[in-house]
Every structure is written in structure tokens, then in C-alpha cells.
Amino acid sequence: MRMLKRRQTIKKYTSMGLFVFLTACASGPRHLPPADGVKAGESSSFKNMVPASQLEASAVRQYDVMKQKAAKGNALAPDNHPQLIRLRTISKRILPYAQVWNPDSKSWKWEVNLFVSDQVNAFCMPGGKIAFYTGILEKLKLNDDEVAIVMGHEIAHALREHARDRIAKEQMTGLGANILSQALGLGGLGSQALGQGMQVLGLSFSRADEKDADLVGMDIAARAGYDPRAGISLWQKMGASSKDKPAEWLSTHPSGETRIYEMQRNMLDALKLYAKAKNTTVDQLPEYKL
Ligand SMILES: [Zn+2]
């Protein structure tokens, strides 16, 4: 009887602790979406349970390891590689608009690298570490607008902190009370998953995250003066190229007409930003040609 009562008391305090902790976490910094541009809404507050600094430090380590391995295998494009110069030129135009969606990104040490590989792939790690594979540029013959859309999409995953949010949610569902006691006692949430060698690259995002990255990516590319209609042609190219074998990018990015439909639905907002960047109006914009 006494034992039972004690257990109930522990349970009561544990759930109280959970409540207090979650309340504290949920009151972390909020990044309000800009008043103009696409209507992507606020990003989830779950992510505040994972310290951004730890995740970013872990991402930097993984990125550096990737670069070192690639360099050993002669697969890291040198600074004078024409495609790398092109990627860095595009990133210089896009990155000033990153802060519109995430003011903390001002302090990120952005980096753009090109890996020589047949893979049709690209990513941006938390903290702003961007990578493209030569496969995506060459196989899909991407024009600059399309490269900007891919880059915008990947940067958007980082800006909206989808990885951080994903880790937080996985910890909540997977590790439950252990994580809670660890969080309330030693260290913080996040340290456990990161300590276990959480593979930032291996994360796959939810459909909601992908839609969010499509819209926010299109938004920042348009602000930088890249045609957001390239998002449609990009997905068409991607679909055509992967009839037989799905591209690597597609294996982590659910494809389909729904995505094109969602981009179309938000196109006018993105076109307004693009027209503004081009010093014109939406009506005066030339037709988009493939
Ligand atoms: Zn994505």
C-alpha cells in the first residue's frame, strides 16, 4: 500500500516535471515568418528541446569528415571548379535572405562544397553547411534558377530547423522517461542522441517538413531574384530522370504532383517577391521558358 502510494507520488512528480520542462522548452525563441512572401506558418517549438549549438557542432564534424574522405578520394571539387564557382555565386545571392526566416542564421558559418559523384543529391546541414553532388547538376542539366530552388529548399530545412525538430520528437516518443530524468538531472535533452552519434545526414524529413522546405526555399530564391517557376520545371525534370530508378534526392524527398500543386498554389506570393527583386510587376514578368 505504502509502496503503491510512493509510486503514484513519483509518477505525479515526474509528470509535473515533464510539464514544467516542456513549458520551459516551448518558450524558447520564436521565429515569426515574414509578413510578405509564402504562407509557411511558424516553425514547431518542439525543436527547442534540443540545444541548437550541440546539433550544429555535430553537423560541422560530420561535414568535415565528409570533406576529408572526399578529398582523399579526389572527389572534393577544388575552389576553381566551374560548377563550384557557380554554386557559390548563387549562394551569395540567396544567403542574405536567410535571416528573413531565421535571424539566428546570421551567426552561421555558411559553406558550399561540391562532391564529385553520380548521385542526384544535395543537402544543407544544421548551421549552414551546404553540399551539392555533381550528379544533380549534370544529369538534370539544371539552369541557375533550378539550382537556386534546390539550394533554397535545402537551406530552408536548416533555417526551419527540421532536423532539430525531428530529433526532439524522436526523443519524446522513443526514449520517454529516461530522457526526461537525464534532462532534469544531467546535461540536457539532445546530448544523449547526439552523444550516440546521431547521423544528421541520415535523417529523413516528414511530408510536412518537405512542403515547408519547398515553400520557404521558393521564397528565398525569389527574394534573391531567381524565378520561382523553376520549382515546377525542377520537379518535372526530377520525375522524368527517375522513371527507372529513383534519384537519391527523391528517396528522401517524396515526389509527386502534390508538391507541384502546393508550389503552384503559393506561386503568386513567390512571384511578387521575384518581381520586386527584378524591379517590375508580376504582370510584366516574361513567361518562364524551360
Ligand atoms: Zn527536403
pLDDT at position 265: 93
247 DSSP 8-state letter: -
Q: Which of 159, 179, 157 is nearest to 50 (CA)?
A: 179
Total residues found in the chain within this entry? 290
* 250 Cα–ligand 1 center, Å: 9
Which grid cell sits at 110? 555558411
* 152 Cα–ligand 1 center, Å: 10
Whole-angstrom distance, CA of residue 194 vs CA of residue 265? 38
> Does the annotation mark 154 as catalytic?
yes
Phi-psi label, residue 167: left if phi above 0, alpha if psi -120 to 50, beta otherwise: alpha
* 253 Cα–ligand 1 center, Å: 5
Ranges of residues in the chain whose predicted pLDDT is under 70: 1-30, 45-46, 173-203, 243-256, 290
pLDDT at position 25: 43
Residue 267's identity, in one-letter code, is: M
Residue 56's identity, in one-letter code, is: E
pLDDT at position 27: 42
Decide: 252 and 204 in contact? Cβ < 8 Å: yes
* 72 Cα–ligand 1 center, Å: 28
Burial of residue 284 (CB within 10 Å: 0-12, 13-18, 19+) is exposed
Strands 129-133 and 111-115 turn out to be: parallel
Residue 31 neighbours by CB distance under 10 Å: 17
Structural domains in the chain plus CATH codes: 48-280 (3.40.390)
pLDDT at position 186: 35
The helix, strand and coil proportions of the chain, stated in percent and rounded to the nearest 5, come to: 65, 5, 30
**SS3 (DSSP) at 76:** strand
* 11 Cα–ligand 1 center, Å: 39
Whole-angstrom distance, CA of residue 81 vs CA of residue 71? 14
**SS3 (DSSP) at 202:** helix
* 284 Cα–ligand 1 center, Å: 31
Whole-angstrom distance, CA of residue 246 vs CA of residue 238? 9
Phi-psi label, residue 197: left if phi above 0, alpha if psi -120 to 50, beta otherwise: left
pLDDT at position 92: 98
Q: Which of 111, 154, 210, 262 is flagged as catalytic?
A: 154
